[in-house]
Structure 1
């Protein structure tokens, strides 16, 4: 193993040992509180275990056994039946002095080799951890210290193709300030993040013409990001507030001097609140500007509406425009339209559905690139017992890019069956 590989595994082991295995938010259902748990002070510690069988049509790139050349790979992402085993912990300790919220998981991802024989060597460990310490949560001045760790095949880098593992960690500190009766709240925040990448497969996909679609070279896009900012909220009506958000992100790439660093300033303001007893609206607009060498600026904003059809059924939809740093190109813009629905039936059956379309534009006049990403996620969860939850679901991801390469142009179907045991 290379020295950089040792560093990554050491970081992974250290964070998991300190924070415990955690629940990742990406494509994961919330762990129910079920059972009695283990009493910890005023709170409860809930051990849990997930078993998931997932049929995935696009897990990675692997050698093509139909040819005699070991360097030849399949022309597209390979399918596989994947087993995921997730032991974990969830802890909540409420307190007026220091509230603790933590959750975690350690995940073994096993490629069975039933559909793609040579995929078994791609089996790997994933995991996540979330820890939040909230000091003086009921006071006029508080302090929040938080850390989020995630090792997953769902990378945050929009420029990279499929078949990539990401190791991400972000530490944050914020100071909620609520003078008077709490109608005004100001929260300055400082965050530091790093992300490292490595391939799932060990071969270059067919048609790859740029480094961003080559999983072998993804470690060139490892980065460090520092973000400083503040948010404010003024509740000028009982259920309506004026909101302001601003932050400055400084992105530096650790290995690749070809990726332009970014100094991105973003600011938004608007309204958030109820317009009726059943309808909530968030409307914000602002601007993003890059002071880095690659330049780039655009308006950003969000318009979202939530309809509470009944106490157990909600619908949400909206449009979001963001501007973020990205490897190789400097910046990218994301225009997203999305809809979401959730319904609780009989107190035990939860139905969810989510659909989104993202139009991604990358800021590099010498290499113009535009991607379209379609996402669909749906399925039911059923609570058989307070300690047993079952779920089935289907996820669709379709990506098309103006850049050639099967890693950036693919359709991925995922069907899963999951059982969760909670104490």
Structure 2
């Protein structure tokens, strides 16, 4: 592998494991159906929600390159048709089977915006997201659920070569058994989930992986809007083709947490979860590095405006029109960059829906990301343990000129203060993993 390709792999693996690069479902209206959908069309026992969006934007660093490299600025055109369906009609009649499904596609066109030598238009492509969720006997004492999705993610590497792109398919599917005794005050779930990541380019076959996960979670509501929570899962992560990148080790991660979620006052809610996580990596050609520490989440949410009441004078927190949340998350994930990475992230999030016409959402976060000792495929050490500081911010607003037409703007910013690492064993060439990226979009959408 040439040094420049090694550098691309370094940057790409970092983006894959930490940034969570957006796929076909990165627009807010696709992630939140409550905000994104309109009244819909009733067809038999189903309600269809079609939509289409068009956006024009600017991307300051298409390839996530370091500031001292040839950063590619581009203009972007993005078109996103979508369709979702559900059998929950406006009458809200009880159902034995609840169905939700959807599909969306995002076409991206890239136009050079600065003095770049990269042929960015070659990277035009289409991301796709399909999903389905079926719940059996949702109101009964015993029930079940099946779910699945297929996502095609479009992600260029930091090389101006489409054959080195990190385009990939994410598969996920599973099911769970649901038990709700006592009129729904307590519920317990036990399930299984399969996941796979399949890269489209043959040179990245060694990054393909599959995960089998067994999970359980439960909730005991001891007050109408307050509950004790627990969740736990164990997974089995395997890389079927690790010859080229034998520093990638399979693992059997384990997590368990307990906590509390509920309203402390009419305007203040608290979510607090704490537990333990361990990565349990398998032995291989490189020394084993494991995460073994506390994990958890804490979030304090303030509701500036009370929700409409149900007639009894009590507000339902789920229908609040605005909220401000301050939170912290600590967890770990398997990494293409080494055995794992751990992340501590603090965040501030706010949202508002004003007079049924104006949507405003914003979030800012600061993360401390830690990597263990890293190794080359031959077992020699690439670097000691190190940390990165990551900054992220996003803002989205939409004005509804009609009940089915919105004009919107979206801004996202990501910055990574990282280190420089050797690109290959025996090499003296280093690659700077730091980068920052600003993306701005304005557009319009029609939805039903």
TM-score by length of 1: 0.80
Q: CA deviation at 1:313?
A: 1.9
1:46 aligned residue (49, 59, 64): 49
2: distance between equivalents of 1:345 and 1:38?
Answer: 25
Aligned to 1:301: 296
Determine helix, strand or coil for the equivalent of 2:60: strand
- Match in the other structure for 2:160: none
Q: Does 1:80 align with 2:77?
A: no
Q: What does residue 145 of structure 2 align with?
A: 144
Task: Give, in whole Å, the separation in 1 of the partners of 2:372 and 2:217.
Answer: 27
In structure 2, the partner of 1:169 is: 171
Match of 2:418 among 401, 405, 409: 401
CA distance in 2, matches of 1:402, 1:103: 41
Indicate conservation of the 8 Å contact 1:359/1:370, yes or no.
yes
Q: d(CA) in 2 for partners of 1:110 and 1:407?
A: 28
The equivalent residue for 2:108 is: 109
Asked if 1:33 corresponds to 2:33, the answer is no
Report SS of the residue matched to 1:309. coil
Q: How many residues align?
A: 367
Cα deviation for residue 183 of structure 1 reads 1.4
Does the aligned pair in 2 maintain the 1:59–1:163 contact within 8 Å?
no
Contact 1:240 1:272 in 2 (8 A): yes
Q: Aligned ranges for residues 61-140 of structure 1 at < 5 Å?
A: 75-94=69-88, 96-115=95-114, 116=116, 118-140=119-141
Deviation at residue 154 of structure 1 after TM alignment: 6.7
- Alignment correspondent of 2:234: 248
Q: Distance in 2 between matches of 1:393 and 1:407?
A: 29
| Aligned with residue 384 of structure 1, among 380, 401, 415 | 401
Note the C-alpha offset of 1:219: 4.4
**Aligned equivalents of 2:225 and 2:64: distance in 1?**
51
**Aligned-partner Cα distance in 1 for 2:28–2:396:** 12
Please report how far the alpha carbon of residue 54 of structure 1 lies from its aligned counterpart in structure 2 after TM superposition: 1.9
Partner of 1:319: 328
- Residue 60 of structure 1 is matched in structure 2 by 63
Question: What SS does the corresponding residue of 2:345 show, helix, strand or coil?
Answer: strand
1:102·1:130 contact (CA, 8 Å) conserved in 2?
yes
Residues in 2 aligned to 1:284 and 1:271: alpha-carbon distance in whole angstroms: 6
Q: 1:219 & 1:374 partners in 2: Cα distance?
A: 31
Contact persistence 2:144–2:176 (CA under 8 A): yes
Which whole-Å deviations, capped at 9, do the CAs of 1:221-260 have from their partners, x for residues lacking one?
2211111110011122333211111000111123223201
For the structure 1 residues 26 and 364, does the alpha-carbon distance in structure 2 shift closer, same or farther, using more than 3 Å as the test? farther
Give the Cα separation in 1 of the matches to 2:348 and 2:154.
24
Runs of 5+ unmatched residues, structure 2: 1-22, 89-93, 157-163, 283-287, 307-320, 375-380, 422-429
Distance (whole Å) between structure 2 residues aligned to residue 251 and residue 171 of structure 1 = 15
Tell me if structure 1 keeps the 8 A contact 2:181–2:187: yes
Contact 1:245 1:267 in 2 (8 A): yes
d(CA) in 2 for partners of 1:416 and 1:129? 24
* Contact 1:105–1:127 (8 Å) recurs in 2: yes
Pick aligned residue for 1:292 from 281, 290, 307 = 281
Q: Distance in 1 between matches of 2:365 and 2:27?
A: 14
Q: Quick one: distance in 1 between partners of 2:211 and 2:221?
A: 32
Measured after TM superposition, the shift of residue 336 of structure 1 is 0.7
Kept in 2, the 8 Å contact 1:249–1:265? The answer is yes
Aligned counterpart in structure 1 of residue 437 of structure 2, from 407, 412, 419: 412
Give how far 1:406 is off.
Answer: 6.4
- Of stretches 43-52 and 333-342 in structure 1, the one that deviates more from structure 2 is 43-52
Q: CA deviation at 1:59?
A: 1.2
Separation (CA, whole Å) in 1 of partners of 2:168 and 2:275 = 30
Q: SS where residue 220 of structure 1 aligns? A: helix
Q: Which among 257, 276, 301 is matched to residue 268 of structure 1?
A: 257
Deviates more, 1:25-34 or 1:348-357: 25-34
Instruction: After TM superposition, give the deviation of residue 196 of structure 1 in Å.
Output: 2.7
d(CA) in 2 for partners of 1:353 and 1:224?
34
Alignment CA distance shift 1:220-1:400 (3 Å): farther
Q: Which has the higher strand share?
A: 1
